[in-house]
């Protein structure tokens, strides 16, 4: 199963190349691979298979090509499946062929990227599958490793999830600290007024979202007609009541549940009727997906 929304953009490619350059600098430090220098000759060649050791979703396969472009462009890289594919243990996901030293130098960097991104995609797919049949969409957050956001969010898409805003620059999300600061500055605690001010100050077409943690706050915010309300750490009963309140006051406003969502709770949350569920764990707690390089031919 693949996800047509998981195209690897130019921004993703630029982010990957920056990270690859840093990764190779860590490994080689401008000196090189002392092990390959000692044991591998310049004429030695090989073909290796990148093999899944477990079932899951693969993501980031194009990064193999980008790594070897920097290590040794004579190494050819061929993905065997598209990103977003559910693979099984033992399945070949890509091949690399060319100078043996180049393959060995790039091996760990390739696996580090693919294992991390495939782990994110696999965890995302578990959450997406858990809410199948409901109206809820699974979204990521800004809880990403610095420098990795573009790639992490790409992996979420590959897993069937949807991206929340990319950063502070492309969406208004008013959280509790914003409200606390705004209230003290203007001497006004009416959240509906804050919604209207945020709307007036935001660029045209930019989504305006507000975070609340009580139903009283929700009622106030809905009066201002934001695009989305984030319901922070509410119980399923509170979420159900929030949906009813939204339906009565502002049916066009989307509701997003967030805070402590797990695979054990996400279905119950989705069944309350919220349209969105954002989960920081997709990108900050995904374990690495197990992949390996297996020699197919040497010589």
Q: Enumerate the active-site residues.
A: 108, 143, 175, 211, 232
**CA-CA distance, 222 to 176, in Å (whole number)?**
16
**CA-CA distance, 95 to 64, in Å (whole number)?**
9
Query: For residue 250, what is the DSSP state?
Result: -
Closest CA to 226 of 272, 184, 179: 179
Token pair, residue 136, equals: 């809820």
Q: Strands (DSSP E) along the chain, which ranges?
A: 45-52, 56-57, 76-79, 86-87, 92-99, 137-139, 172-174, 208-212, 228-232, 254-258, 276-278, 291-298
**CA-CA distance, 52 to 98, in Å (whole number)?**
21
Name, in order, each residue with C-beta under 8 angstroms of 93's C-beta and a sequence gap of 6 or more. Answer: 50, 51, 52, 58, 61, 79, 80, 81, 85, 87, 114, 291
**Starting from the edge strand earliest in sequence, which strands make up the sheet with 254-258, in order?**
137-139, 276-278, 254-258, 228-232, 208-212, 172-174
The two beta strands, 172-174 and 92-99, are: unpaired
**CA-CA distance, 63 to 68, in Å (whole number)?**
9
Q: At residue 245, what are phi and psi to the nearest 5 degrees?
A: -65, -45
Question: How many other β-carbons are positioned within 10 Å of the β-carbon of residue 25?
Answer: 10
Distances (CA, A) of 31 to 27, 36, 42, 68, 98: 9, 12, 17, 17, 22
């Amino acid at each position: 199963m693949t996800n047509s929304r998981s195209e690897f953009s130019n921004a993703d490619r630029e982010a990957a190349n920056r990270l690859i350059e840093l990764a190779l600098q860590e490994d080689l430090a401008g000196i090189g691979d002392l092990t390959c220098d000692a044991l591998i000759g310049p004429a030695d060649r090989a073909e290796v298979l990148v093999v899944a050791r477990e079932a899951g979703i693969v993501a980031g396969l194009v990064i193999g090509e980008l790594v070897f472009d920097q290590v040794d462009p004579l190494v050819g890289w061929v993905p065997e499946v598209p990103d977003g594919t559910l693979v099984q243990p033992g399945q070949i996901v890509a091949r690399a062929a060319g100078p043996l030293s180049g393959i060995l130098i790039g091996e760990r960097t390739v696996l580090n990227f693919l294992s991390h991104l495939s782990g994110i995609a696999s965890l995302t797919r578990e959450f997406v599958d858990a809410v199948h049949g409901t109206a809820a969409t699974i979204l990521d957050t800004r809880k990403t490793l610095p420098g990795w956001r573009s790639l992490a969010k790409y992996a979420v898409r590959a897993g069937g999830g949807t991206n929340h805003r990319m950063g502070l620059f492309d969406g208004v999300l008013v959280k509790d600290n914003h409200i606390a600061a705004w209230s003290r500055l203007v001497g006004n605690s009416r959240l509906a007024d804050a919604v209207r001010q945020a709307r007036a100050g935001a660029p045209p077409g930019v989504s305006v979202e507000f975070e609340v943690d009580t139903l009283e706050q929700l009622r106030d915010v809905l009066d201002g007609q934001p695009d989305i309300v984030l319901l922070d750490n509410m119980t399923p009963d509170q979420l159900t009541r929030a949906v009813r309140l939204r339906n009565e006051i502002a049916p066009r406003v989307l509701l997003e549940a967030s805070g402590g969502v797990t695979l054990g709770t996400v279905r119950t949350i989705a069944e309350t009727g919220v349209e969105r569920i954002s989960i920081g764990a997709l990108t900050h707690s995904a374990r690495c997906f197990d992949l390996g390089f297996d020699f197919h031919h040497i010589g």
